[in-house]
Amino acid sequence: MNTRLPETLYFNKSETGTRLSVWVSVSHISLSIFVIVLLLSFFLSVPASYAETKKTATFVHKIRPYLKNGSALVVDQQGNELFSYNPDRKMVPASILKIATADAVLSELGEDYRIPTQFYLTADNYLAVKGYGDPSLVSESLTDIALQLKPILKKLNNNELKGIVMDSSFFKARQKINGQSNSNNPYDASIGALVVNYNTIYVHKSRQGKLSSAEPQTPLTPTVRKLARKIPFGKQRINLGNNEEQNLVYFAELLYYKLSEQGIAVSTPLAIMHKPVPEDSIKLYTHYSRPLSEIVQQLLYYSNNLTANQLLLILGARKYGMPADLPKGQKALRIFLSQTIGLNDFSLNEGSGLSRQNRFTARQFIKILQHFEPYHYLLRAYDEKFLAKTGTLNGIATFAGYMISPQNKTIPFVIMLKQPKSSHYRYKIAEMLYEHLL
């Protein structure tokens, strides 16, 4: 008996969809020969399937010791799981939480959003500064501001300013982030409506105790000299401390030096007042930050905790009104994660990852990465294989972002480890997953 058969027969080799094909190019073939071909194809496929299973088992055996007490998940662009390990275990995300904060502010405020800082002249001849939380103000920014103010003040025939008024009313006063300590470390710097140089100072102290600025664009101010008295010798970057008045004084001192460099006279000793801008003041100039996308890119690259929480509070105030405070920022980010991304049953305390009260699962974080994908290029590159963000707290090591396939596809991945023997394990796991899956 002769039976006409299709020209191609497919047999699944493995769960990944790899298939073994047999090509039969005949017009007619007997049923008995067909059965032989079918059986032969089956037996040829068995070793391949066995080899694939053995390879997977070997991989799991190798990677498991690095994942102890941890969680990991990798999905393809369609959301299909490529690898998972405890994907529903709640873990402390540490600084990979900054991806969620970045996603929210970019989505809600826009990539081109710029944060203002306003300058006024009061009726009694003070320069008044009103801040809105711009975290990107640095010494060079104040140089540019002084350059802009010089011709404006000259046009007003202003000969000498009596002092500087600092208006920080856009932010609620004396806010502290959970997880922020009182150390000198830059990552513990305090948030505020008016900050410069990330509320840190960078100084060099010789073995003989002589102080100098460690960056030429930033002069030594009285506040810097006071704070640097007890630091060890060498170059040190320390934060200004959880003291709002001190932080505002430093900002005013630095602005005073920049004004003086441009020949703008200010009475000495410098008079500094902390109060809202008087209503009868004349608006002189508004300085705008770099675009939000650039601020976020720097945030993700350098993992600046102050910047993350500044942006969180700005988002909260823009949505729910001033003064900007942590509860409004928390509310804005929680609603974004639940309503826009579809997350539930997560714990959020702040926007930088400093707090151990933050809790997310790998599966939840994959959803964040899927939504953040249009902005994936803002993440830091690692070995041309990953665009990702790390997170580190004592006993916590995380790594999340996108594997970049040889075909230039973005493959979301999350790795969260608790008490790893080495924080380097997160990179080891990522490398192993990359080699195995791609």
Sign of the torsion formed by the C-alpha atoms of 162, 167, 173 and 175: negative
In a 13 Å sphere around the CA of 67, the CA atoms on its Cβ side amount to 22
- Residues facing 130 on adjacent strands: 118, 167
CA distance 161 to 259: 10
With residues binned 3-state (H G I as helix, E B as strand, rest as coil), the percentages for the chain, rounded to 5, are 40, 25, 35
3-state secondary structure of 107: helix
- CATH no. for 116-289: 3.50.80.20
DSSP 382-405: ETTTEEEEEEEETTEEEEEEEEE-
CA angle 195, 201, 206 (to 5 degrees): 170
Q: How far is CA 95 from CA 81, 251, 309, 347, in A?
A: 24, 28, 12, 15
What pLDDT, on the 0 to 100 scale, is given for residue 54? 72
What is the C-alpha end-to-end distance of the chain, expressed in Å? 47
How crowded is residue 306: how many other Cβ atoms within 10 Å of its Cβ? 24
Cβ atoms of 361 and 72 within 8 Å: the answer is no
Q: What is the mean pLDDT of each run of 10 residues along the chain (438 residues)?
A: 30 32 38 50 50 78 93 97 97 98 98 98 97 98 98 93 98 92 87 97 92 94 91 91 94 98 96 98 98 98 97 98 97 98 98 98 98 98 96 98 96 97 96 95
Query: Side chain identity at 420, as an amino acid letter?
Result: P
CA distance 427 to 183: 28
What pLDDT, on the 0 to 100 scale, is given for residue 287? 98
Cβ atoms of 164 and 270 within 8 Å: the answer is yes
Report the CATH architecture of 64-109+294-437: 3-Layer(aba) Sandwich (3.40)
CA distance 258 to 253: 9
In a 13 Å sphere around the CA of 126, the CA atoms on its Cβ side amount to 22
Q: Dihedral of the CA atoms 380, 381, 387, 392 (nearest 10)? A: -60
CA angle 234, 194, 151 (to 5 degrees): 100
**What is the Cα 215 distance to its own chain's centre?**
25
3-state secondary structure of 113: coil
Beta strand spans in 125-215 (E): 127-131, 164-167, 200-205, 211-213
Q: How far is CA 167 from CA 252, 289, 322, 327, in A?
A: 11, 18, 13, 22
Cβ atoms of 179 and 356 within 8 Å: the answer is yes
CA distance 142 to 20: 67
CA distance 53 to 58: 9
93: nearest Cα among 416, 435, 436, 433:
416
**Roughly what angle, to the nearest 10 degrees, separates helices 97-109 and 362-372?**
40
Q: Do 64-109+294-437 and 116-289 agree at the fold level?
A: no
3-state secondary structure of 24: coil
CA distance 43 to 39: 6
CA distance 73 to 142: 45
Q: Where are the domains of the chain?
A: 2-48, 64-109+294-437, 116-289
**Roughly what angle, to the nearest 10 degrees, separates helices 305-320 and 326-335?**
80
How crowded is residue 34: how many other Cβ atoms within 10 Å of its Cβ? 15
Give every CB contact of residue 151 below 8 A, 6+ residues apart in sequence. Answer: none
Tokens linked to 104: 């929210």
